[in-house]
Amino acid sequence: MYIQWKKTYETGHPLIDAEHRLLVMLFRKLDIAIKTREPEATVLRIVQEVKRYVKFHFTSEENLMYETNYLGIEGHIAMHTHLLVDLNKMMSKLTSRQEFPEDVLDFLSDWLTKHIAHHDQLLVKYVENAVNRPVAELIYPEYLEMIITQNVESD
């Protein structure tokens, strides 16, 4: 499996898109670790890193929903919760060798692409027209540009 960022994943919201790109990067990191046959402990640490970032991203999206009074908040949060429950089950099976890292990666990649394609698109459309504006939305592009510039300059 080879996952990479695609233009079709973009929602048009700078913060959500940046976080989704980081998720895809972490999925690629896991994919590379699997394909290069890194030690099991390394793969498990990367899966844990993915899980932590997924939780962060969900909190970030949920804050955006609260800030804008998103009408679909309960259903969207329920989907986030369901994914984390499924991911925890898969991680338990992974540590007991009842699941393969490739299956976790496939599951996460499939979930993310489907979730972005439908649910996150609906969220962004709502946010674009919401009366209540997200906290600090005006600094998202500036901050993200600063991060990109710093990373390019340090390379």
Answer yes or no: is pLDDT of 124 > 90. yes
Q: Which candidate, 68, 54, 82, 78, places its Cα nearest to that of 123?
A: 68
Q: Using DSSP, state whether 102 is helix, strand or coil.
A: helix
Give residue 2's pLDDT: 65
Q: If you write DSSP's letter for every residue of 17-59 in order, what string do you get?
A: HHHHHHHHHHHHHHHHHHHTT--HHHHHHHHHHHHHHHHHHHH
Residue type, 91: M
Helix (H) / strand (E) element for 72: namely: none
Residue of higher predicted confidence among 56 and 154: 56
**Distance of CA 117 to CAs 65, 107, 113, Å?**
17, 16, 6
pLDDT of 1-27, one tens digit each?
A: 567 888 888 898 888 998 999 999 999
Cα–Cα distance for residue pair 38/110, rounded to 1 Å: 23
pLDDT of 44-99, one tens digit each?
A: 999 999 999 999 999 999 999 999 999 999 999 999 999 999 988 988 888 888 88
Q: Which candidate, 4, 146, 122, places its Cα nearest to that of 73?
A: 122
CB burial of 69-90 (b: ≥16 within 10 Å; e: otherwise) equals ebeebeebbeebeebeeebeeb
Give residue 118's pLDDT: 86
pLDDT of 28-48, one tens digit each?
A: 999 999 999 999 999 999 999
Contact 80, 58 (CB under 8 A): yes
pLDDT of 129-150, one tens digit each?
A: 988 888 877 777 777 777 666 6
Mean pLDDT of 111-139: 87
Class of domain 13-154: mainly alpha
